[in-house]
Amino acid sequence: MRGMYKLVFCALAAAFLVSCGGGPEPAGPSKARPSSSRPAQTVFDPGSISKEEHDTAKKEVQQLIQKLNGIIRARDYDAWVSYLTDDYFNLISSPEFLEEISNSERFKNQERKPSSAQDYFIYVVVPSRANDRVDDIQHTSQTHVTAYTVNAKGDRLRLYELEKQSGGWKILRP
């Protein structure tokens, strides 16, 4: 049974990696073959996280999201930015990303469109992220988790991907 979970996780991880390839994110690692001198990358085993580690991370993430909810409700852009990874901030600041958001269905017929990371915060994050709730997390590595909420229909919805850094949890992407 444990082998089946590993197989499902590997399939999901592969699907996630493939799905992330077409977006406006900055270029990832080179697609060239790794040299034989590099150590082989190992697949993360979620079973390597103890229940205690999982429960601690879940509690920390829930507290973070509660704190972020208050920051977002207060429209405190500077505080919100302090919880973003550099890569995520660079992404939402990029002209390509902002153009894509501005051309989305949501902003199609609106005069105001995001033209900066602060606009993205005000026009996208504030209306959609002020009341998030974390019901579950899934470890994707020792330092990365995906936070989920469960809606009234029982659907598990992804809220954030987070990374644990020396200063605490940071948002990798919503």
Could you read off the pLDDT of 78-104 as tens digits, one per residue?
999 999 999 999 999 999 999 999 999
Q: What is the pLDDT of residue 111?
A: 85
Could you read off the pLDDT of 135-170 as tens digits, one per residue?
999 999 999 999 999 999 999 999 999 999 988 999
- State pTM to two decimals: 0.71
What does the pLDDT average to over 48-76?
95
Instruction: Please name every residue paired with 162 in a beta bridge, in sequence order, or none if there are none.
Output: 145, 171
Could you read off the pLDDT of 27-38 as tens digits, one per residue?
333 334 444 455
Quote the DSSP letter at residue 1: -
Q: Delineate the domains of the chain, giving CATH numbers in brackets.
A: 50-173 (3.10.450)
